[in-house]
Amino acid sequence: MTDFATPLRAILAEMDLELYDVELVSSTLNVTVRRAGGVDLETVASASRKISAWLDEKDPIAGRYTLDVSSPGLERKLRTAEHFAVAVGEMVTLRELRVGEPTRRLEGPLVSADGHKVVIRDTDLGEVEVNIDRVERARTVFVWGATAKPSPSKVSTSTAKTRSK
């Protein structure tokens, strides 16, 4: 995060918001905010106005840029050790940079995370430990719906066939 993350945290705390991430990419300052229970559009707009006013007053970024304030969404980037720690137990996908080998894509539940490494239970490889500094990019994966349960009609049909034998 940037040098002005601390003042942004203070501004957002007044609105009962938390700074999830701040990143200057190309000429866009991306500020991601969150709150337990979610963030509505009106709150994002209000946060954008307050941050914009602070940026205009303090002018911490040289040159022209666009401010983009948003919530993390269902699938969110994992860039910092804190991001990974909060995502433990969730489905994630990540690209691991490996020395002398091709980049490896892993996907599965995030088992653990500390300040230096993460452990992911990859769907093909099982538990894999990855140093955070070797993560090219990572994000959470939203899983649509729950695991399908057997249909009651299929259960009773197979039971009926078993009984008729």
Q: Where are the domains of the chain?
A: 5-70, 81-140
**How many Cβ atoms are within 10 Å of 13's Cβ, its own excluded?**
11
State which fold the 81-140 domain adopts. Answer: SH3 type barrels. (2.30.30)
User: What mean pLDDT is reported for the chain?
Assistant: 87
Distance in angstroms (rounded) separating the CA atoms of residues 133 and 107: 18
Segment 42-58 mean pLDDT: 96
Contact 50, 15 (CB under 8 A): yes
Segment 79-95 mean pLDDT: 94
Mention the CATH class of domain 5-70.
Answer: alpha beta
Distance in angstroms (rounded) separating the CA atoms of residues 56 and 62: 11
Whether this model's pTM surpasses 0.85 = no
Q: Do the first three CATH levels of 5-70 and 81-140 match, i.e. the same topology?
A: no
Which residues are CB-contacts of 75 (< 8 A; sequence separation ≥ 6)? 139, 140, 141, 142
Segment 124-136 mean pLDDT: 95
If residue 77 lies in a helix (H) or strand (E), which one and from where to where?
none
**Is pLDDT of 151 > 60?**
no
**Is pLDDT of 9 > 50?**
yes
Around 57, how many Cα atoms within 13 Å sit in the side-chain half-sphere?
8
Which residues are CB-contacts of 50 (< 8 A; sequence separation ≥ 6)? 11, 14, 15
Q: Which residue has the higher pLDDT, 156 or 52?
A: 52
